[in-house]
Homo-oligomer: A and B are copies of this chain.
Amino acid sequence: MGDKCGQQSLIFSQPPVIISGANIVGPEEGEGPLGSYFDWILDDPLFGEKSWEMAECKMLEESAKLALQKIELQTQDVDFFLAGDLLNQIISSNYAARGLEIPFFGLFGACSTFAEALLLGSMLMDGGFAHRVLLGSCSHHLSAERQFRYPVEQGVQRSATAQWTTTASGVLVLEAQGEGPRVNMGTVGKVVDMGISDVNNMGAAMAPAAADTILTHFQDTETNPDSYDVIVTGDLGSVGQAALVELLKQRGFDLGEKLQDCGILIYDTCEQDMHAGGSGCGCAAAVFTGLFLRKLREKQHQNLLLVATGALMSPISSQQGESIPAIAHAVAVSS
C-alpha cells in the first residue's frame, strides 16, 4: 500500500526491488564512453531486420528476453509489461509486446517514458497488483530521424543545439522481494511549456520541466540535494543541462558535480560530433540499466534520483506553430 506525498509525489511502503536489467545499443553508442557498460552492442543498426522500425522493435524485445534470461525467468513469470517509444503509435513497444505475450500497458512520454514506466510499474507492485513487472523503452536514430526530421540520406546539416536520438533500448525487472536496488519514491511530472518552439533545441524546452519536477520532489518528500549522491537527468544534453543549472541556481540550489545527464554521458560529444548530446526514449533506459544500475549494485551510489525528461510535441504540432510541451518524471532509487 503506497502513499501520496505532497502535491505530486509518492512513497512506496514496500519499495520494489530491481532484480534485473538489460540493454542493447547501436554502434555509435557502443563506441562512446559507456560502451563497456552495455550488454549488447549492435554492429548493424538493422539488427538483421528489413527496416529500422522493426530493428527498434527487436531491440526492445531482445532486451526484455535478456533481462529475464539473466535471472533465469520466462516471460510467463512476469505479470505486466509497461513500455513506450518515440515512433508513431508506439509500434516498437506494441510489436515487442506481441512477441513477449505479457499483459501490456502502452505508454507515451517521449524521452521521459522510461521513468514513467518505472513509476507506474512500481505503483502496480506496491499496490499489490503484481509480483513481478517488466518495463522498458527504446529508440532508434534512423527511424526517429526520418519520422521527426529528414531522411538521413538527405544529409541535412544538424543544428548546434540539436540532440542525437540514440539507438538504444533498456529494460528492468521489478520484484516485490529480493536483492538489489530499491525504488523508494517518485514524483509525477506536470506538463510545462515555456514557449520554446525550436525543435532543434529540445533541451531548452525540457529544462524547465526538469527544474519543476526536481524542486517539487525536494519539497514534497522533504529531501534536498544532500539526500542524493547523484541526480541524473535524461536527456537534456549540454544546452538543456546549462539551462537547468541556471534555473536551479535561481531557486537557491547548486547541484554542482552531482548533476549528470544521460544524453551527455552516452557520447563523447566532441569526438563523436553529436552536438548537444543524446536523446530518445532509449537513452535514459540504456544509461540507467547500464551505467547506473551497476554503480548502485556496487554501492558506488547509495541514493540516486533519475529525472527523465520528455519533449511532447509532434511534427504536426510544430508545423502548426505550437510550442513544445515538456514533462519530467523523477524516481528515487537506493542501493
Contacts and interface: CB of A to CB of B under 8 A. Distances in A.
So how many copies of this chain end up in the complex? 2
A322 B110 CA distance: 24
Interface in A296-326: 312-317, 320, 322, 325
A107 B107 CA distance: 4
A130 interface: yes
A28 to B, nearest CB: 23
Contacts of A79: 4
A219 to B, nearest CB: 14
A53 B89 contact: no
Contacts of A124: 123, 127
A191 interface: yes
A106 B101 contact: no
A91 B129 contact: no
Interface residues of A, number: 61
Interface stretch (A63-71, A80-88, A167-175, A256-264): A80-88
Contacts of A147: 316
Contact of A104 (B84, B91, B188): B188
Contact of A91 (B8, B97, B193, B317): B317
B104 A190 contact: yes
